[in-house]
């Protein structure tokens, strides 16, 4: 009913890696031009939104890119934010994504109409003062806004009345020169920003509830000769990418086999490496403070060759405590110590479990995805489809994140799974598909059982876990296992609606 030129209509929510991949592959493999919706002013997702000092990827550039758009022109092995964003914009230009994307457009509700077997999508322009709602209908929806979209601003920090900024909402107009700066958090953004801010600020106060495991990056610059070879020697770029991929697949051993000889040996190695770096920097007093007490990999490991060294500088003070409250320009830690600061930097991450934000998604019989997932374990089938939500594909949702390799490959696997289902539906005159409840429950039960014996169930708290302590943010195996899992599509596991 709502097809275009006899083809199903497709909406893609989000124009980051997930949305780009979905729109490109739907066009390449099915000949369908999708309509993209993006709340910001440009494509790129998190790589457009995050512009804090030092922002970069901790996955090597050859992996953090599409397998169908290899890039031999990366400047470094680990690329900075700007270069990744430029790569994504180049890909978007090549595939005419800009012409089919509505920027500055917020999707506020997606609802399945059972009588028509289509999705009703409500959106509004963030530039319109009249707040007019636009209603459109689509046969399929690819939902890919990403899990890192709803910023986390702890209530303890809301009393601060001085200059404050979240790393995901960076304000480049803030002058840090000769300022006392409090950085709250010890995750990736803090670890990347502090070495840069330390060079300008008069004083840095690093508030850390728990320290992070820091792994040195094997960072290096690609020479012109290497770039030339990767570009012109047949298959060399593909071979290089595959080599880096399988190198990272081996890292899973330390995560998936917690307590093994290898995992214990690797942890001891990193303990010694942390101690060596701090001793070399002349700050042996920081060794017990900055050596985590939880197992390696239980929280996300962060790569940096200069973070520990920055914390050892004379103008940086490490405060191994959380912030209890803030008022005026005062920051109070959990022991009652007070510090007056000029700028508060919130490196406090995102609300991953509540990544839907204010967006409401209603499936069959008015089932709310937000309410269902906030009160229960987020169940999906094959990490991409959801019972009760026909023709709906969630990219980078629950249980597909990684701690050892590139999620871009995960996205490609999810999109390929969705397109296989769409091809089957188009060929067989099926108007809608969704996984059977029993198939989904069996899949989730097996998935949750697979976390036994992994480091993520070793007892520490992280954003990988939900409020009940269940691992919802990660895939329990290798990327290769996810590829195999999504490659096989048992069609008898799906409810298939016909006209």
Summarize the confidence of residues 461-482 as an average pLDDT. 90
Burial class (CB in 10 A: 0-12, 13-18, 19+), 418: buried
Assess if residue 45 is contained within a domain: yes
Looking at 284, 314, 346, which one is the last position of a domain? 346
Q: What is the pLDDT of residue 3?
A: 58
pLDDT at 5: 57
Whether residues 355 and 342 fall in one domain: no
- Whether the predicted pLDDT of 111 surpasses 70: yes
Element (H, E) at 191: helix 188-197
pTM recorded for the entire structure: 0.94
Residue 385 sits in the same domain as residue 317: no
In a domain, 191, yes or no: yes
Q: What single-letter DSSP state applies at residue 407?
A: H
Q: What is the mean pLDDT of the chain?
A: 93
Is residue 255 in a domain?
no
Higher pLDDT, 46 or 5: 46
Q: pLDDT at position 1, please?
A: 38
Query: Mean pLDDT over residues 347-361, rounded?
Result: 79
* Dist CA 267 CA 339 (whole Å): 35
Residue 290 domain flag: yes
Is the predicted pLDDT of residue 381 greater than 80, yes or no? yes
My answer on whether 362 and 454 are in the same domain is yes
- Mean pLDDT, range 36-57, rounded to an integer: 95
206: domain range?
155-213+269-294+299-346
Q: Kindly state whether residues 169 and 110 are assigned to the same domain.
A: no
Domain check: are 340 and 452 in the same one?
A: no
Name the band, by pLDDT with cuts 50, 70 and 90, for residue 464.
confident
**Banded model confidence at residue 129, pLDDT cuts 50, 70, 90:** low
181, 209: one domain: yes
CA distance 25 to 11: 13
pLDDT band at 353 (very low <50, low <70, confident <90, very high): low
Last residue of a domain, one of 346, 377, 406: 346
In a domain, 410, yes or no: yes
What's the CATH code of the domain at 436?
3.50.50.60
How crowded is residue 329: how many other Cβ atoms within 10 Å of its Cβ? Answer: 17
> Do 187 and 329 have their domain in common?
yes
Task: Tell me the mean pLDDT in the region 224-239.
Answer: 96
What is the pLDDT at residue 462?
A: 84
β-bridge mates for residue 67, sequence order: none
**What pLDDT score was predicted for residue 7?**
86
**Per-residue pLDDT at 20:** 98
| CB of 170 closer than 8 Å to CB of 50 | yes
For residues 173 and 314, state if they share a domain.
yes
Picking from 346, 371, 406, the residue at the C-terminal end of a domain is: 346
Judge if 413 and 437 occupy the same domain: yes
Whether 256 is in a domain gets the answer: no
Q: Is the pLDDT of residue 197 over 60?
A: yes
Give the H/E segment covering residue 142: strand 140-143
**220 SS3 class:** coil
Residue 407 has pLDDT above 50, yes or no: yes
- What average pLDDT does the segment 47-57 reach? 95
160 falls within a domain: yes
Which whole number is the average pLDDT over 304-310?
A: 96
Q: Say if residue 119 is in the same domain as residue 207.
A: no
3-state secondary structure of 81: helix
| pLDDT at residue 4 is higher than 80 | no
Examine the domain organization and report whether 358 and 455 are in the same domain: yes
**Residue 406 shares a structural domain with residue 325:** no
Domain count, the chain: 2
With CA atoms as reference, report the closest residue to 61 among 182, 191, 217. 217
Residue 238 lies in a domain: no
Question: Residues 6 or more apart from 153 whose CB is under 8 A from it?
Answer: 166, 346, 348
Average pLDDT for 21-34:
98
What residues form DSSP beta bridges with 494? Answer: 435
Mean pLDDT of 67-82: 96
pLDDT single digits (tens) 80-110:
999 999 999 999 999 999 999 999 999 999 9
């Amino acid at each position: 009913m709502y097809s275009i030129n006899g083809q199903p209509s497709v909406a893609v929510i989000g124009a980051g890696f997930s949305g780009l991949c979905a729109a490109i592959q739907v066009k390449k493999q099915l000949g369908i031009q999708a309509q993209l919706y993006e709340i910001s002013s440009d494509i790129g997702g998190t790589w457009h939104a995050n512009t804090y000092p030092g922002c970069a990827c901790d996955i090597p550039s050859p992996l953090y890119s599409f397998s169908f758009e290899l890039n031999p022109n990366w400047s470094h092995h680990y690329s900075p934010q700007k270069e990744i964003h430029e790569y994504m914009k180049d890909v978007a230009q090549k595939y005419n994504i800009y012409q089919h994307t509505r920027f500055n457009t917020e999707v506020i509700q997606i609802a399945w109409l059972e009588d028509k077997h289509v999705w009703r999508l409500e959106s509004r322009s963030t530039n319109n003062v009249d707040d007019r709602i636009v209603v459109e209908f689509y046969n399929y929806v690819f939902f890919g806004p990403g899990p890192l979209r709803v910023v986390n601003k702890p209530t303890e920090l809301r009393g601060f009345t001085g200059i404050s900024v979240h790393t995901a909402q960076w304000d480049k107009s803030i002058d840090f020169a000769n300022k006392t700066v409090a950085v709250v958090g010890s995750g990736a953004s803090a670890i990347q920003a502090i070495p840069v801010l330390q060079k300008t600020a008069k004083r840095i106060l690093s508030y850390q509830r728990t320290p992070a495991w820091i792994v040195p990056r094997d960072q290096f610059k690609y020479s012109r000769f290497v770039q030339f070879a990767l570009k012109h020697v047949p298959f060399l770029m593909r071979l290089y990418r595959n080599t880096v991929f399988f190198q990272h697949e081996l890292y899973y051993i330390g995560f998936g086999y917690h307590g093994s000889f290898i995992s214990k040996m690797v942890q001891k190695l990193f303990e010694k490496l942390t101690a060596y770096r701090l001793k070399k920097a002349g700050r042996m007093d920081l060794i017990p403070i900055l050596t985590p007490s939880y197992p390696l990999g239980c929280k996300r490991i962060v790569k940096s060759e200069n973070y520990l060294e920055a914390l050892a500088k004379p103008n940086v003070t490490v405060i191994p405590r959380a912030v209890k409250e803030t008022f005026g320009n005062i920051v109070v830690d959990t022991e009652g110590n007070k510090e007056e600061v000029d700028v508060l930097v919130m490196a406090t991450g995102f609300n991953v479990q509540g990544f839907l934000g204010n967006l409401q998604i209603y499936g069959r019989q008015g089932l709310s995805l937000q309410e269902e997932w906030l009160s229960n374990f987020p169940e999906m089938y094959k990490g991409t489809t959801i019972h009760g939500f026909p023709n709906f594909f969630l990219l980078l949702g629950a249980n597909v994140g990684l701690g050892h390799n590139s999620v871009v490959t995960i996205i490609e696997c999810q999109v390929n799974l969705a397109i296989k289902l769409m091809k089957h539906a188009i060929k067989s005159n099926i108007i809608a598909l969704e996984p059977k409840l029993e198939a989904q429950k069996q899949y989730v039960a097996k998935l949750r059982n697979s976390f036994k014996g992994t480091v993520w169930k070793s007892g520490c708290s992280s954003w990988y876990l939900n409020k009940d302590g269940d691992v919802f943010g990660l895939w329990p195996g290798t990327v290769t296992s996810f590829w195999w899992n999504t490659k096989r599509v048992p069609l008898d596991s799906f409810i298939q609606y016909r006209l």
